[in-house]
Amino acid sequence: MNGRYRYLLARLRDLMIAGGVVTAALLLCALVTALRGGVPVWPELAALAALLLMGVAVWLFVARPYRKREQALERMLRGYAGGEEEMGPVTLMGPGDERLLGELRQMLSPSQMFKLNKRQAQYLALQNQINPHFLYNTLESIRSEAMMAGLSSVADMTEALANFFRYTISKVENLVSVEDELQNCETYFHIQQYRFGDRLELTVRCAPEDREELYRCRLPKLTLQPILENSIIHGTELKVGKGHLTIYLQRTGERLLIQVSDDGVGMDEETLARLNGKLGKGGLVGASAGSQRGGVALVNVDNRIRLLFGEEYGLHVYSMPELGTTVEITLPIITSDRDVRNREVLR
Amino acid sequence: MREEVLRLSEVTYVEQGVVQLEDFCLSVFAGEIVGVLHRSGHGISALIDLLRLNLPLRAGSVYYRGERVNSWRAPGRHDNRVGVIKSQSSLVEDLTVADNIFVLRPGFRSWLVRPRVLAGQVQPVLDSLGVDIRADALVSTLSPFERVVVELVKAVVAGCRLIILREIGTIISDVELERLHALLRRYAQQGISFLYISYHYEELMQLCDRTAVYSNGRIITVLTLKDGDALYGGDYLERVREQLRQSPASRPASSALELRDLRGGAVRGVSLTAAPGECVVLQDLQNLVFGDLISILLGERRAESGEILLGGKPFSPHPTREIAIIRELPDVSMIFPEMSCLDNLCMTVDHRLPEIWRSRRAREGLRREWAQRMGEDVFTLYPDRMTRRQRYDVVYQRILLQRPRVVLCVQPFRGADLDTRMHIWELLEELLHSGAAVVILAVNLADAFTLADRLVRVRRGASCEVYERSEFDRLPFSAPWLNLYRTP
């Protein structure tokens, strides 16, 4: 028998079955006696109906909520988010329960988790807490010097880097259009090309008829670039020969699907399972993920998406050794920031 | 914008404490044929049941036709209208095609069944598909291919927008498979989606735009055509190539088995020759003759005419240890579950070691000898505790111990995942090296084709075409791995 039923529910059920059977048997006996003796039978029938109603009531108001509570707590213990949104209403067994759950929810509220992930994203982008204006000015100076010295490639590279930082450092919590995000990816890729040369190739694909609509969709800032960076560093960089990166956009009635694929070294089944296990937990693994190697950027992006839009959206990774890796991002179709479900976390 | 017919999002499903699916994600769009290649079979049945019956989930959600039909928080209340076609037909044998399509359909409420009206409605549909099936024909008279077509039409008529086909390639031939694929493409153009589950990537790549690779309850990647070579991790494909590079060894002039125009039951004139150490694939295009052919060779059915030569001498059919039969799914059908591994192994060796059942010493000696091949562990287990690979080992090693002249293998690769297929391949090679003639009775050529020294095709019970290995690159039909034969 499953452990979670060992306690209250099992006792309650046994008690209900035993009590119900005995009472029903007694009532049936009384009914038969009444029928034989010509006595009115309605009291027995009424008692039977009451018994039945009591059974239904116990099931609806005691047993079922208890099972739901068990299910929700088990899910929370397995690492999924514990907010009311994710768990639904939970039946409390006593005042201690209520206090405990309140504390937990406070700790794990979407806004708290989002802030945590936002901080992590900022940290990832700004490892050294550089003053942005100082950085832009310095890069601009380097660019001017390079142009004057006739080093156009250095000037070009510096400009790309300045653009990249300008986009990356400011307001990480904002939603941006797909077009802006793709532009940032191309800037990042442009910078990487100075390192890899022709060894890297990036293609952005979508159905031409959907292009305009797709590019107008909103998504959290820095959703694509960290994934693209992961694809380059963990996928194609380790591969011998040319690496191809693809960003493929498509939409259904309600969802925006973005696939970031590489044809790099891929990963084995165990690593893939571990990585996907970290995703989809709505923020709980965000804080601890940093201690384990790999997947920090993915977990961060996944957490931000889930906290903003709900548990049905997020990231999923597909991979096979020698075949490459695909990260599938699922987002709602949103063209205005007002459509965001959890808008308060953006503030 | 694409219409999504099915979406499984981060689904985790547990059955009796065993995780069947974990973090399972898959999307199928309208009019799409998505292949599911399973490297291990664990959880596939659960996936099909889950899609049909909305079983309670531990995590994740299932969306069908745009609606969330099942989730861990709110288990689905209704079954989904999803068609499932398996290698074992779900049609009722004693009813007509029209009855199966209409009367057994969920939602059929008519009190009065009017066969002529039903047949009148079904016949145009069948005719439009270009299949020669009569609406009033009994299902028991149909060939496996025709049954699959009837099940397909039944699912379409029942309004299923998603149809799951599981391992259909094991019951119908390559030619019929091509016809079936054409029908699927036709329905896909009408917006119906298919989930085509198979063990063979070669089969999937002929049909599907996308193929999801399934392993241990997860989709690990989604492939396009170009990824095929890398799929097998180089290992399997390299083995295939190596096998093809080998020039056929010179065979003894005498044959181990020769059938000359054999007739009886569904067998309407089969001829073949298999020399010792030679692998002959007998491909039955209609999946009709295998049962009767084996019955004739075992003496259970009288041959109407023809001649059988065993070791070059006329053979009067009777059960003999000279001919071994490896039946379909031998890990189940040829294992005695209540007997130990050693007893299972000794089952057919008494003609070589008459004292085997009396002498404990003889059996202990045999155990020691075979433990070097199969490992010590397996001898401590009863079949119910063995892995699939170990059960296959027991069956094939038993045949090796038996030392028959001829081994007839009925669809040896059926139902086997990639690792098991490679293992079966090794076991068959071992049989060939031991000097036995191996006759593989197959409907579909996948895998078996690469081992074959000769291919004999049987149409309507009679052998119609014979191809030697040197002619495989010129075969006038599509077959798996054919491109490899054609590679210079």
Instruction: Give B149's DSSP letter.
Output: H
- Tell how strand A200-206 and strand A243-251 pair up: parallel
d(CA B363, nearest CA chain A) in Å: 42
> Mean pLDDT across the stretch A19-31?
81
Together in a domain, A80 and A163: no
Q: pLDDT for B127-173, tens place per residue?
A: 888 888 998 899 999 988 999 999 999 999 888 999 999 988 878 87
pLDDT at residue A289 in the model: 45
Q: Which of B73, B201, B229 to mutate to test the interface with A (most CBs of A within 10 A)?
A: B73
Q: What would the two tokens of residue B91 be?
A: 């049609």
User: Which stretches of chain B sit within 8 Å of chain A by CB?
Assistant: 1-4, 9-10, 17, 22-23, 25, 27, 29, 59, 61, 66, 72-73, 213, 215-216, 218-223, 227, 230-231, 233-234
Together in a domain, A219 and A300: yes
- Which residue of A lies nearest to B219 if distances are taken between CA atoms? A318
Together in a domain, A135 and A94: no
> pLDDT-based confidence at A116, cuts 50/70/90?
low
Residue B449 confidence (pLDDT) above 80: no
Please enumerate in sequence order all residues whose Cβ is within 8 A of that of B32, keeping only pairs 6 or more positions apart, or say none: B5, B188, B193, B194, B209, B210
Q: pLDDT for A156-176, tens place per residue?
A: 888 888 888 888 777 666 789
Q: Which of A167-171, B15-19, B213-217, B458-462 has the lowest mean pLDDT?
A: A167-171
Which of A85, A107, A129 is a domain's end point? A107
> Mean pLDDT across the stretch B375-388?
88
Nearest Cβ partner of A318 from B3, B61, B219? B219
Residue B105 confidence (pLDDT) above 60: yes
Nearest Cβ partner of B218 from A255, A273, A322? A273
Report the distance separating Cα B447 and Cα B479, nearest Å.
Answer: 10
- Which residue of A lies nearest to B4 if distances are taken between CA atoms? A252
A57 touches chain B (CB under 8 A): no
Class of domain B4-238: alpha beta
Candidates B68, B74, B129, B118; CA nearest to B96 is: B118
Report the distance separating Cα B52 and Cα B29, nearest Å.
Answer: 17
Q: What would the two tokens of residue B367 be?
A: 């155990």
> pLDDT-based confidence at A6, cuts 50/70/90?
low
Percent of chain B's residues with pLDDT above 90 = 36
Which of A73, A107, A141 is a domain's end point? A107
pLDDT at residue A293 in the model: 47
> Mean pLDDT across the stretch A184-205?
90
Which of A40, A73, A107 is a domain's end point? A107
Together in a domain, A123 and A96: no
A322 touches chain B (CB under 8 A): yes
d(CA B351, nearest CA chain A) in Å: 47
Nearest Cβ partner of B23 from A277, A319, A322? A277
Nearest Cβ partner of B1 from A71, A75, A252? A252
From residue A37, give the alpha-carbon distance in Å to each of A41, A42, A152.
Answer: 10, 14, 111
Name the pTM for this structure: 0.72
Using a CB-CB cut-off of 8 Å, the residues of chain B touching A277 are 23
Together in a domain, A251 and A189: yes
| DSSP 3-state percent helix, strand, coil across chain B (nearest 5) | 35, 25, 35
Together in a domain, A183 and A257: yes
> Mean pLDDT across the stretch B200-211?
83
Residue B235 confidence (pLDDT) above 60: no
Nearest Cβ partner of B10 from A250, A272, A280? A280
Residue A19 confidence (pLDDT) above 50: yes
| DSSP 3-state percent helix, strand, coil across chain A (nearest 5) | 65, 15, 25
Together in a domain, A81 and A212: no
What CATH number has the domain bearing residue A181? 3.30.565.10
> Mean pLDDT across the stretch A322-327?
89
Together in a domain, A167 and A275: yes
Q: Looking at the 3D structure of chain A, how many domains does it have?
A: 2
Where along chain B do its domains lie?
4-238, 244-486
Together in a domain, A245 and A168: yes
Query: How many residues in total does chain A contain?
Result: 347
Using a CB-CB cut-off of 8 Å, the residues of chain B touching A78 are 59
Q: What is the CATH code of the structural domain delimited by B244-486?
A: 3.40.50.300
Using a CB-CB cut-off of 8 Å, the residues of chain A touching B3 are 252-253
Q: Which of A86, A276, A279 to mutate to test the interface with B (most CBs of B within 10 A)?
A: A276
Together in a domain, A174 and A322: yes
d(CA A326, nearest CA chain B) in Å: 8
pLDDT at residue B195 in the model: 95
Residue B443 confidence (pLDDT) above 90: no
Number of CB pairs, chain A paired with chain B, less than 8 A apart: 71
Together in a domain, A115 and A198: yes
Report the distance separating Cα B472 and Cα B482, nearest Å.
Answer: 8
At CA A140, angle to CA A136 and CA A142, rounded to 5? 120
Candidates B97, B89, B87; CA nearest to B119 is: B97
- The overall average pLDDT reported for chain B is 86
Interface contact flag, B2 A252, Cβ < 8 Å: yes
> pLDDT-based confidence at B28, cuts 50/70/90?
very high
- Which residue of B lies nearest to A274 if distances are taken between CA atoms? B23
Higher pLDDT, B81 or B478: B81
> pLDDT-based confidence at B51, cuts 50/70/90?
very high
Q: Which of B36-45, B226-235, B355-364 has the lowest mean pLDDT?
A: B226-235
Q: pLDDT for A65-102, tens place per residue?
A: 777 777 777 776 666 655 555 556 666 666 677 777 77
Please enumerate in sequence order all residues whose Cβ is within 8 A of that of B77, keeping only pairs 6 or more positions apart, or say none: B54
* Interface predicted TM-score (ipTM): 0.72
Together in a domain, A64 and A134: no
- Tell how strand B210-215 and strand B33-38 pair up: parallel
Sign of CA dihedral B91, B92, B96, B98: negative
In B315-472, alpha helices (H) = 330-333, 341-346, 360-374, 388-402, 418-433, 448-451
Higher pLDDT, A28 or B248: A28
Q: Which of A237-251, B40-54, B111-125, B366-380 has the lowest mean pLDDT?
A: B111-125
Task: Quote the domain boundaries for residue A73.
Answer: 3-107
Contact at 8 Å (CB) between A179 and A221?
Answer: no
